[in-house]
């Protein structure tokens, strides 16, 4: 018996010995695997220093490593967001016990040798540089045929090998560079709870087989993927789905009614596709739905009444569609609705009167519809309403009094309606209010500025084109935060109070088209930030106070159509920023000063002042001369009407003759215009025939406002880009060829070189050096924007800034670009930036992308405010546009587009979002760069950008300063800029 016990004991100890020997061996092997995984990373993160073979016994405490408590094998590896780059070593496949693996948020690429780790349940490789082109060993996988059948040769497909990992519950391939179709085999991973393939380059139809993933709770397929066809009806079988996000991925066709079967869904995001047809009433069955966003599609029809059953709904976004009909009353009764955004549709009828009575409403935007009736009284019932935007409808009646007590309000935009009555007491003093737009309505009465004790946060107040009357009270001075105050087109009267000088931050002050009388208060000169001052069409009298000349940054000054008198102060001419001034139709006397800015003002700026003299008005001889000339002028204007008629008919006849002549001449010119002339700006190995040979449709690489751009290969093998300006307005006149001669002389590393100019009588061709990576705009706003890491973006910013700085500071005369934008920053094969298309925009302004401002050369979203006001441009307008490019680089967003509110652009959006705080910056950084941006650098670049987009041009830095500031923002040791 004792012997048996002894033997058993011996056996037990032997077993223990064996097990521990096995454990330590296994630990050593696993440690070796992890060390080789670490070695395959380029410059591994310091936090991986614990991954050291000499410390293999402590394996389970290594960074990111979790072991099984019982047998100490590695079950979980989390190396997410460690700034790792390089491939994932194949050795990892030896970690057979691995259950969880996350390498998310790094810059990893290459193979994913994971298909043998059959116990894997959680796999997250999101936000890396993986693309299917080099990846995965597909051998022996039946799905390979599927892949062959559905993927063309050109794609870098999603790994089919993943279908072997049948225990997978969480699969995140989002934010990588896989392209091609989604393998149907993914529909066999029936344990999956989470699947994200969002933010890749996927295309083709979404396979209906994904509808077999019956355990799935979370499905995300959108963003940058560009699918064919629509949403598979089979998704209606994903009965456990809680979150479905198919936004921004080119989906067409109707929303399948089967989605109404997804009873557990709390989020449905289908926004920014091309979905059409009507909203299926079955969506009303989604009783758990909290967020529904189907905005920015082409949906038609009405909001289904069945939506009344969406009792959990908090956000309903239907904006930018073609929906019509009434907003159902039942929407107003949804108990939890916080945000209702229905703007830019064709909704008619009334705003449901009960809207807001649920006590939860925070944001309401119904702008640009055809809504009529009155504004409901209860919008702020729950005292939560922050944003109220109803602009551009047919609303009438008063602003409800209750809005005057809605202390949570911050933005109110109600312009372009038929609203009437007074502005409620206290409304403008609401403590959080920053923007009030009530322009183009029928508001009457005085504005209640009287409550003098409160201070206000108001930055923008636009009351233009109403019927407001009475004095502007002295308490206007309480609104010291105002930046824009527009009171034009009302019936305000009385003196302009001197307290207007308390508005220290005011940028734009427009009091035109009112009945203001008395003198212009000299206190306006206490507003140092004023860039725009319009006092025209009032009853003002007296002189222009010379103190106004102290506003060094005023751009626009209009006092026309008043009764101002005395002489024009010479000091006004010393205001260097003043590019547009209008003194016309007053009673000014004396001579127009011939100094400073007066030399540049348009002569029409002085007309209608009978006692004002200048060489281009009435010569300054003697006062009696003046009087008589005034008489002569007025008698001239009394020409009998029949002479006027004869004159007009004569003019018409002449115009007709001229047109006929011009047509004949044009035909002649066309016949004789075959001879081409090539002006080379450097030694060239090609001639005009070679350039003309490029003009084939198959060579087109881009189209812009000015014309088509072709790629061409010259006989010496060099590539060029040929821009065909076509029969442009400026083709043979207006100094285009002279300008081109100047531009051709410019040589700078960061400026696209103009090689030659090739023209005949009809056509102008500009031959540029070819930039293989296209424009920054295309790259940044395309899928490959993710490849543009922060360092490259900063490098591009500095290089482009250097190019512009050269144009501004090193060329004589200086060259204003006039169309700085990301599409005009081209990238060579090393992603080095080269500024393009400088100096020419003025020749093509009518063709440009700026839809609403045809007189402006430049592109919508990039145009400096003073340029829009005054049509005058200087190099600081370029600085503004460059600031917009910097914001694009930081945020990855286009300068105009969907910023969640009608009319908002990137500059306003960034201001609202960031308030220049650190947390704010984190919020706006391009999602694709997340975790890979040195935040201090981003803050600094944002700071520079915000300086560049300052409203007042003098407050913007010069391009030379921009270069310096950007170079300083670079933290040491990241890259070297020459």
- Under the binding rule (CB under 6 A), the answer on residue 823 touching ligand ATP is yes
Tokens 């809207």 belong to residue: 355
Token output for 364: 């309401």
- Under the binding rule (CB under 5 A), the answer on residue 822 touching Mg ion is no
Residue 502 φ/ψ, nearest 5 degrees? -80, -10
Stretch that binds Mg ion, among 210-218, 724-732, 803-811, 821-829 (CB under 5 A): 821-829
Smallest gap, in angstroms, from Cβ of residue 799 to Mg ion? 17
Would residue 534 show up in a list of annotated catalytic residues for this protein? no
Neighbouring residues of 278: CB distance < 8 A, sequence distance ≥ 6: 254, 299, 300, 301, 302, 304
Cα 98–chain centre separation: 43
Active-site residue, from 365, 819, 837, 926: 819
Token output for 621: 């001889």
Residue 697: how many CB atoms within 10 A of its CB? 7
Torsion on CA atoms 663, 668, 669, 673, rounded to nearest 10: 140
Identify the residue among 768, 806, 843, 880 touching ligand ATP (CB under 6 A): 768
Report 735-754 residues binding ligand ATP (CB under 6 A). Answer: 752
DSSP string, 605-662: GGTT-TEEE-TTSS-SS-HHHHHHHHHHHHHHTT--HHHHHHHHHHHHHHHHHHHHHH
Sign of CA dihedral 778, 784, 786, 790: negative
Stretch that binds Mg ion, among 22-30, 458-466, 698-706, 871-879 (CB under 5 A): 698-706
- Under the binding rule (CB under 6 A), the answer on residue 699 touching ligand ATP is no
Smallest gap, in angstroms, from Cβ of residue 834 to Mg ion? 11
- Under the binding rule (CB under 5 A), the answer on residue 875 touching Mg ion is no
Question: What secondary structure letter does DSSP report for 806?
Answer: I
Smallest gap, in angstroms, from Cβ of residue 718 to Mg ion? 21
Identify the residue among 709, 835, 907, 965 touching ligand ATP (CB under 6 A): 709
Identify the residue among 179, 212, 822, 824 touching Mg ion (CB under 5 A): 824
Among the listed residues 724, 722, 716, 723, the one whose alpha carbon sits nearest the alpha carbon of residue 686: 716
State the DSSP H helix or E strand holding residue 84, giving kind and residue range, or none if neither.
none
- Under the binding rule (CB under 6 A), the answer on residue 836 touching ligand ATP is yes
Smallest gap, in angstroms, from Cβ of residue 784 to ligand ATP? 13
- Under the binding rule (CB under 6 A), the answer on residue 233 touching ligand ATP is no
Residue 705 site contact among Mg ion, ligand ATP, none (CB < 5 to 8 Å, cut-off depends on kind): ligand ATP
DSSP string, 867-927: HHHHS---HHHHHHHHHHHHHHHHH---SBS-SSSTT-BHHHHHHHHHTT-HHHHHHHS-G
Q: Give the span between the Cα atoms of 415 and 436, in whole angstroms.
A: 9
Report 653-692 residues binding ligand ATP (CB under 6 A). Answer: none
Q: What angle do CA 695, 698, 699 make, to 5 degrees?
A: 50
Burial class (CB in 10 A: 0-12, 13-18, 19+), 785: buried
Residue 380 site contact among ligand ATP, Mg ion, none (CB < 5 to 8 Å, cut-off depends on kind): none
Token output for 177: 């560079």
Nearer to Mg ion, 704 or 892 (CB): 704
Stretch that binds ligand ATP, among 409-417, 468-476, 767-775, 911-919 (CB under 6 A): 767-775
Stretch that binds Mg ion, among 365-373, 593-601, 684-692, 834-842 (CB under 5 A): 834-842
- Under the binding rule (CB under 6 A), the answer on residue 837 touching ligand ATP is yes
- Under the binding rule (CB under 5 A), the answer on residue 743 touching Mg ion is no
Q: Give the span between the Cα atoms of 803 and 812, in whole angstroms.
A: 15
Neighbouring residues of 669: CB distance < 8 A, sequence distance ≥ 6: 761, 762
Token output for 502: 């308390």
Stretch that binds ligand ATP, among 296-304, 536-544, 822-830, 969-977 (CB under 6 A): 822-830
List the x/- string, 354-383, binding to Mg ion by CB under 5 A: ------------------------------
- Under the binding rule (CB under 6 A), the answer on residue 437 touching ligand ATP is no
Smallest gap, in angstroms, from Cβ of residue 753 to ligand ATP? 9
List the x/- string, 856-885, binding to ligand ATP by CB under 6 A: ---x--------------------------
Q: Do 188 and 160 meet the contact criterion of CB atoms below 8 Å apart?
A: no
Smallest gap, in angstroms, from Cβ of residue 836 to Mg ion? 5
Q: Do 239 and 216 meet the contact criterion of CB atoms below 8 Å apart?
A: no
Identify the residue among 826, 910, 921, 948 touching ligand ATP (CB under 6 A): 826
Stretch that binds ligand ATP, among 198-206, 518-526, 821-829, 875-883 (CB under 6 A): 821-829
Token output for 636: 């001239």
Smallest gap, in angstroms, from Cβ of residue 271 to Mg ion? 30
Q: Give the span between the Cα atoms of 954 and 552, in whole angstroms.
A: 8
Residue 625 φ/ψ, nearest 5 degrees? -50, -45
- Under the binding rule (CB under 6 A), the answer on residue 771 touching ligand ATP is yes
Among the listed residues 236, 204, 242, 239, the one whose alpha carbon sits nearest the alpha carbon of residue 220: 242
SS3 of 218, please?
strand
Nearer to Mg ion, 109 or 844 (CB): 844
Report 527-546 residues binding ligand ATP (CB under 6 A). Answer: none
Identify the residue among 90, 277, 774, 897 touching ligand ATP (CB under 6 A): 774
Smallest gap, in angstroms, from Cβ of residue 319 to Mg ion? 31
Footprint of ligand ATP (CB under 6 A): 701-706, 709, 721, 723, 752, 768, 770-771, 774-775, 778, 819, 823-824, 826, 836-837, 848-849, 859
Footprint of Mg ion (CB under 5 A): 704, 824, 837
Active site residues: 819
């Amino acid at each position: 018996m004792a012997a048996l016990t002894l033997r058993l004991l011996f056996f037990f100890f032997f077993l223990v010995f064996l097990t521990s020997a096995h454990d330590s061996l296994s630990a050593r092997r696993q440690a070796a695997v992890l060390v080789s995984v670490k070695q395959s990373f380029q410059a591994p993160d310091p936090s991986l220093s614990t991954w050291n073979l000499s410390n293999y016994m402590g394996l389970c405490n290594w960074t990111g490593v979790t072991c099984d408590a019982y047998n100490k094998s590695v079950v979980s590896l989390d190396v997410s967001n460690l700034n790792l780059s390089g491939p994932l070593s194949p050795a990892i496949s030896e970690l057979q016990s691995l259950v969880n693996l996350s390498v998310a948020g790094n810059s990893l690429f290459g193979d994913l040798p994971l298909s043998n780790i059959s116990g894997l349940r959680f796999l997250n490789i999101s936000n890396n540089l993986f693309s299917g082109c080099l990846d995965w060993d597909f051998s022996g996988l039946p799905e390979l045929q599927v892949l062959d059948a559905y993927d063309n040769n050109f794609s870098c497909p999603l790994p089919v090998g993943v279908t072997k990992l049948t225990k997978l519950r969480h699969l995140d391939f989002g934010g990588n560079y896989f392209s091609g179709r989604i393998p149907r085999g993914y529909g066999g991973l029936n344990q999956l709870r989470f699947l994200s393939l969002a933010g890749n380059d996927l295309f083709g139809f979404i396979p209906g087989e994904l509808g077999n993933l019956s355990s799935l709770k979370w499905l995300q397929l959108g963003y940058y993927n560009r699918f064919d066809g629509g949403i598979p009806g089979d998704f209606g079988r994903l009965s456990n789905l809680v979150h479905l996000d198919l936004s921004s991925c080119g989906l067409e066709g109707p929303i399948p009614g089967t989605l109404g079967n997804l009873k557990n869904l709390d989020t449905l995001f289908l926004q920014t596709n091309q979905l059409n047809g009507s909203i299926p009433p079955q969506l009303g069955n989604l009783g758990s739905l909290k967020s529904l966003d189907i905005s920015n599609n082409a949906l038609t029809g009405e909001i289904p009444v069945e939506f009344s059953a969406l009792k959990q709904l908090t956000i309903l976004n239907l904006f930018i569609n073609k929906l019509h009909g009434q907003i159902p009353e039942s929407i107003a009764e949804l108990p939890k609705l916080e945000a209702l955004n229905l703007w830019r549709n064709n909704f008619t009828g009334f705003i449901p009167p009960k809207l807001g009575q649920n006590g939860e409403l925070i944001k309401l935007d119904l702008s640009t519809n055809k809504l009529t009736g009155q504004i409901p009284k209860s919008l702020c019932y729950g005292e939560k309403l922050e944003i109220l935007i109803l602009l551009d409808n047919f609303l009438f009646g008063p602003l409800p009094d209750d809005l005057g007590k809605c202390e949570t309000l911050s933005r109110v935009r109600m312009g372009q309606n038929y609203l009437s009555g007074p502005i409620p007491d206290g409304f403008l003093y609401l403590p959080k209010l920053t923007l009030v737009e009530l322009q183009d309505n029928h508001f009457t009465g005085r504005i209640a500025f009287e409550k003098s004790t409160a201070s206000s946060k108001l930055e923008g107040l636009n009351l233009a084109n109403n019927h407001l009357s009475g004095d502007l009270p002295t308490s206007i001075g309480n609104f010291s935060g105002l930046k824009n105050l527009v009171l034009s087109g009302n019936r305000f009267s009385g003196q302009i109070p001197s307290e207007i000088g308390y508005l220290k931050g005011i940028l734009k002050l427009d009091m035109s088209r009112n009945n203001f009388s008395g003198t212009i208060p000299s206190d306006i000169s206490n507003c140092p930030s004023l860039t725009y001052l319009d006092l025209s069409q009032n009853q003002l009298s007296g002189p222009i106070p010379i103190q106004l000349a102290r506003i060094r940054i005023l751009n626009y000054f209009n006092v026309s159509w008043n009764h101002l008198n005395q002489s024009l102060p010479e000091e006004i001419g010393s205001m260097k920023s003043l590019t547009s001034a209008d003194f016309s139709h007053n009673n000014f006397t004396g001579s127009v000063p011939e100094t400073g800015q007066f030399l540049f003002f348009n002569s029409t700026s002085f007309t209608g002042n009978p006692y004002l003299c200048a060489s281009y008005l009435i010569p300054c001889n003697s006062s009696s001369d003046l009087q008589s000339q005034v008489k002569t002028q007025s008698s001239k204007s009394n020409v009998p009407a029949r002479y006027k008629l004869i004159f007009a008919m004569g003019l018409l006849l002449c115009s007709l003759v001229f047109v006929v002549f011009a047509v004949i001449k044009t035909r002649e010119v066309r016949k004789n215009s075959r001879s081409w002339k090539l002006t080379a700006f450097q030694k060239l190995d090609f001639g005009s025939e070679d350039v003309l040979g490029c003009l084939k449709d198959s060579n087109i690489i881009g189209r812009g406002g000015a014309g088509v751009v072709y790629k061409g290969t010259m006989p010496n093998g060099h590539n060029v880009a040929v821009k065909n300006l076509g029969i442009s307005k400026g083709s043979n006149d207006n100094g285009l060829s002279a300008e081109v001669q100047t531009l051709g002389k410019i040589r700078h590393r960061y400026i696209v070189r103009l090689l030659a100019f090739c023209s005949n009588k009809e056509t102008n061709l500009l031959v540029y050096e070819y930039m293989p990576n296209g424009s920054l705009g295309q790259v940044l706003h395309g899928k490959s924007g993710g490849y543009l890491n922060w360092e490259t973006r900063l490098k591009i910013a500095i290089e482009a800034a250097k190019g512009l700085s050269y144009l501004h500071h090193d060329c004589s005369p200086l060259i204003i670009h006039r169309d700085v934008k990301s599409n005009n920053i081209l990238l060579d094969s090393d992603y080095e930036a080269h500024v393009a298309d400088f100096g020419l925009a003025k020749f093509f302004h009518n063709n440009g992308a700026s839809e609403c401002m045809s007189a402006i050369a430049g592109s919508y979203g990039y145009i400096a405010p003073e340029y829009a006001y005054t049509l005058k441009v200087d190099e600081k307008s370029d600085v503004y546009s460059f600031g917009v490019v910097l914001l694009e680089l930081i945020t990855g967003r286009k300068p105009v587009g969907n910023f969640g509110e009608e009319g908002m652009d990137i500059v306003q959006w960034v201001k609202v979002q960031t308030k220049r705080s650190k947390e704010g910056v984190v919020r706006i950084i391009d999602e694709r760069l997340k975790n890979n941006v040195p935040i201090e650098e981003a803050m600094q670049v944002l700071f520079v950008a915000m300086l560049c987009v300052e409203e007042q041009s003098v407050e913007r830095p010069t391009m030379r300063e921009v270069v310096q500031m950007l170079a300083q923002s670079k933290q040491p040791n990241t890259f070297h800029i020459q």
